[in-house]
Amino acid sequence: MSRYIRQMVLPQIGTDGQDRIEAAHVLVVGAGGLGVPVLQYLAGAGIGAITLIDPDRVEDTNLHRQPAYRMKDIGRLKVRASAQAVARLNPGVEMLALPDRLTPANAPGLIRRADLVLDCADSYAASYTLSDACLAAGKPLISASALGLAGYVGGFCGGAPSLRALFPYPPDSGQTCASAGVMGPVVGMLGCLQAQMALETILELTPSPLGQFTRYEAGRFTQFRFDGAPETPGPRFIAREDITPGDLVIDLRPASEAPRKATPEALRIPAYGAAGPLPQPGQRAVLACRSGLRSWRAAAALAQRWPGEITLLALGDD
C-alpha cells in the first residue's frame, strides 16, 4: 500500500477509498491521445481491472500526443503496447487487451462487465453507441473529445443525462485529428481530466462529476452542469450483423471511397436524405457511411419526409 500513500492521506480517499479504487473494473475504449493518459493515471492510482479495446496499430504520427508508445512500438497493436506499459507501471492491475473495434454488437456485453466506462475513442459512432448502451445499463460514462486547440470532457449516464441529451444533433464539422490537427498537451490534459472524473465517480465524491461538462478552448476552461437535460430521441447506431433482409440499406459512400457496399443489396446513393426512394411501410431504413456523421445528417433529412424507423451504420475503413 505504500505506493498509494500520497493519495490515501487525502480525506476523500483513505483506506476505504483505496479499496474502492482497487475493486473497480473500468472499460476504456480507445488507446490514443485520450486513452494513454487515462491508462497511465488509472493504473498509477491502483485501479483493479481495465478492459481496453482498440483495433489500431501504433503509427509514427501518434507519438507526439501518445507518449506511452516508443519508436520500437510502431506497427504494434496499441492494446498490446498499452498492456505492457501498464504492466511496467503497476503489475497489480488486471488488464484485458482487446484488439477489436467497439460496435453496437459488442458494447453491451463489455459495459455490463464494467463498473465505469471511459470513452477515449474520439469517434461519433463510438461515443453515441457507448452513451446509448450506458444509459440502458445504468453505468457511468466519462466521455471526451479533442480537436485542434480545444476539446471537452463530460460525465454522462449512471443517473445523469446521456450524451444524446446534451448533444441531440449531429456536429457541424466532420474534421478529425488527421485533417484538422491536434496539440498533444491539449488532448493529454483532457485525458487526465477523464481519469480524475473517473476516480471521483468511483469514490462517490460530491459534487458528482456525472452531469458535469468541462470545455477547454482558447487557453481556458469553462464548466457547467446539465443535470436536468431531457433525453432526446434520435437514430441509433446498429452493427452490420443487425441488418435484416427486410431493411432498406442505403450506402452513402461513393464507389471511389468504398468499392464494397455495406451489403450486396444496398443502394449506393451518396446524396440520399432529402431525396431518394422511401422505405416501404413497416420497413426500416439503415443509412451507412464511414464515420456515422453523413448517416446521421441523412437521417435528419429523411425524418423530415418519412416517419418510420431510421438507424445508422458506421463502417470505419471497411
Q: What is the set of domains in the chain, with CATH numbers?
A: 2-225 (3.40.50.720), 236-314 (3.40.250.10)
Picking from 129, 199, 191, the residue whose alpha carbon sits closest to that of residue 157 is: 129
Q: Is the confidence at residue 242, as pLDDT, over 70?
A: yes
> For residue 128, what is its C-alpha cell?
453515441
> For residue 227, what is its C-alpha cell?
443535470
213-222 pLDDT, tens digit each: 999 998 899 9
Query: What burial letters (b/e) apply to 52-80, b meaning 16+ CB within 10 Å?
Result: bbbeebbeeebbebbebbeeebeeebbbb
Residues 6+ apart with CB under 8 A from 192: 37, 41
273-311 pLDDT, tens digit each: 999 999 999 999 999 999 999 999 999 999 999 999 999
pTM strictly above 0.75: yes
Angle, in degrees to the nearest 10, between helices 35-45 and 78-89: 30
90-144 pLDDT, tens digit each: 999 999 999 999 999 999 999 999 999 999 997 889 999 999 999 999 999 999 9
